């Protein structure tokens, strides 16, 4: 249920009064930026690991406006809690600067350094989260199992957005004995031309999560280019597989919640003074979902092994 400003604040007050019971040793606030299935699955996983008095809230982006957001924060600060679990960038942005002594575990934030410390990139010792990027090595392994003759994987990217990820991808490609043909772009307008230049230079295309490269126009053109040249695409998520990408790896939302619950338990039990995570990397998702498109495979003359089809979490025909 989405809440208005007044009902959101009122629900916080009522929740504090009604649910603040001594049933468990710990008290936790969960804040979701939206009430959507992946977030609900993550909360389910989180709650399965960490038994606590849980107070769950749903916000809307407009509540982060000055005044409205401050009113919500005041309500939360009146409630002493052991830890805050956030889902989504808006939820993290709402609390990260206000709770500096309270452990915060975040999830579903694509670029956390742009949120934490107002984009300063500094990681504080009371905040830890789970990376939303699927490791490139996992994605390259997936395409190589389906299309064994892949030797060159092409990608377009904006260095100002995803340079660290591309460096990781280049290392992964080298480890696997293949080549990453990475094409730099600086503006969204350059994306389509960069895709055109992949002709004859790639056996597969990797959709890196880059806000400059991946826009509606470039996605549409990339899919057309893929079918025209019979070059399969590794999509960012399941929805791109539905639209024609050959495959995609996505994280398992419920397991991500369990992973967040384990991190939360460690932070509570060890105490912030014993847990220096300032320079620690983000936790990597540990369980993935494979989506494949058999219709795309047929049009490209790709024979996907039956074993992989059976093991896939989502199959489009």
Q: Give the largest CA-CA distance in the chain.
A: 66
Residue-wise pLDDT tens digits, 170-197: 999 999 999 999 999 999 999 999 999 9
- Residue 116 and residue 114: Cα distance in Å, rounded? 6
Mean local confidence (pLDDT), 7-14: 40
Task: Please work out, in degrees rounded to the nearest 5, the angle formed at the alpha carbon of residue 38 by the alpha carbons of 106 and 306.
Answer: 120
Please work out, in degrees rounded to the nearest 5, the angle formed at the alpha carbon of residue 195 by the alpha carbons of 194 and 196: 90
| Tokens linked to 244 | 């024609």
Q: What is the pTM of this model?
A: 0.76
Taking residues 132-145, what's their average pLDDT? 94
Exposure string over 97-108, b if 16+ CB within 10 A, otherwise e: ebbeebbbbbbb
Q: How far is CA 70 from the centre of its chain?
A: 27
Confidence (pLDDT) at 50: 87
pLDDT at 123: 59
Task: List C-alpha distances in Å: 292 to 43, 179, 238, 297.
Answer: 27, 23, 8, 9
Write down the residue that tokens 């849980």 correspond to: 54
Q: How far is CA 93 from CA 13, 17, 107, 140, 185, in A?
A: 21, 26, 12, 33, 29
In the predicted structure, residue 260 carries a pLDDT above the cut 80: yes
Integer Cα distance of 102 and 185 in angstroms: 40
Please provide residue 290's backbone torsions phi and psi, each rounded to the nearest 5 degrees: -100, 125
What is the CATH code of the structural domain delimited by 5-132+254-274? Answer: 3.40.50.2300
Second-level CATH architecture of 136-250+287-316: 3-Layer(aba) Sandwich (3.40)
At 152 the pLDDT is: 98
Placement of tokens 């504080």 in the chain: 124
- Work out whether strand 152-157 and strand 179-184 pair parallel, antiparallel, or are unpaired: parallel
- Start and end residues for every CATH 3.40.50.2300 domain found in the chain: 5-132+254-274, 136-250+287-316
Lowest mean pLDDT among 52-66, 86-100, 209-223: 52-66
Give percent of the chain above pLDDT 70: 82
Mean pLDDT over the full length of the chain: 85
The CA distances from residue 141 to 110, 114, 203, 296, 312, in Å, are: 23, 30, 14, 19, 14
pLDDT for 78: 78
Residues 6+ apart with CB under 8 A from 226: 205, 232, 233, 244, 245
Q: What is the pLDDT of residues 75-101, one digit of tens each?
A: 777 778 899 999 999 999 999 888 888
For 33-84, give the DSSP string.
Answer: SS--HHHHHHHHHHHHH--SEEEEEE--GGGGSTTHHHHHHHHHHTS--SEE
Provide the 3-class DSSP secondary structure of residue 131.
coil
pLDDT category at 106 given cuts 50, 70, 90 is very high
CA separation for the pair 260, 283 (Å, rounded): 9
d(CA 268, CA 52): 11
């Amino acid at each position: 249920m989405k809440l208005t400003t007044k009902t959101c604040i009122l629900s916080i007050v009522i929740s504090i009064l009604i649910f603040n019971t001594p049933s468990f040793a710990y008290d936790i606030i969960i804040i979701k930026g939206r009430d959507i299935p992946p977030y609900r699955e993550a909360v389910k996983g989180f709650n399965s690991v960490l038994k606590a008095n849980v107070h769950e809230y749903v916000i809307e982006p407009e509540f982060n406006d000055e005044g409205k957001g401050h009113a919500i924060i005041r309500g939360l600060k009146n409630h002493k809690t052991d830890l805050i679990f956030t889902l989504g960038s808006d939820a993290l942005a709402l609390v990260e600067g206000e709770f500096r002594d309270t452990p915060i575990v975040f999830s579903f934030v694509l670029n956390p350094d742009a949120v934490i410390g107002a984009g300063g990139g500094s990681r504080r010792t009371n905040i830890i989260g789970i990376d939303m990027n699927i490791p490139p090595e996992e994605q390259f392994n997936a395409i190589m199992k389906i299309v064994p003759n892949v030797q060159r994987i092409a990608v377009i990217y904006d260095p100002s957005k995803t340079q660290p990820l591309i460096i990781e991808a280049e290392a992964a490609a080298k480890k696997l004995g293949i080549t990453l043909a990475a094409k730099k772009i600086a503006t969204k307008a350059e994306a389509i031309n960069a895709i055109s230049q992949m002709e004859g230079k790639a056996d597969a295309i990797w959709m890196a999560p880059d806000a400059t490269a991946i826009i509606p126009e470039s996605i549409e053109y990339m899919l057309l280019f893929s079918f025209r040249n019979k070059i399969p695409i590794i999509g960012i998520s399941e929805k791109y597989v539905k639209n024609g990408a050959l495959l995609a790896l996505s994280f398992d939302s419920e397991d991500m919640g369990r992973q967040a619950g384990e991190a939360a338990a460690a932070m509570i039990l060890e105490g912030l003074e014993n847990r220096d995570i300032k320079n620690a990397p983000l936790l990597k998702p540990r369980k993935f979902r494979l989506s494949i498109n058999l219709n795309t495979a047929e049009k490209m003359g790709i024979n996907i092994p039956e074993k992989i089809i059976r093991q896939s979490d989502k199959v489009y025909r």
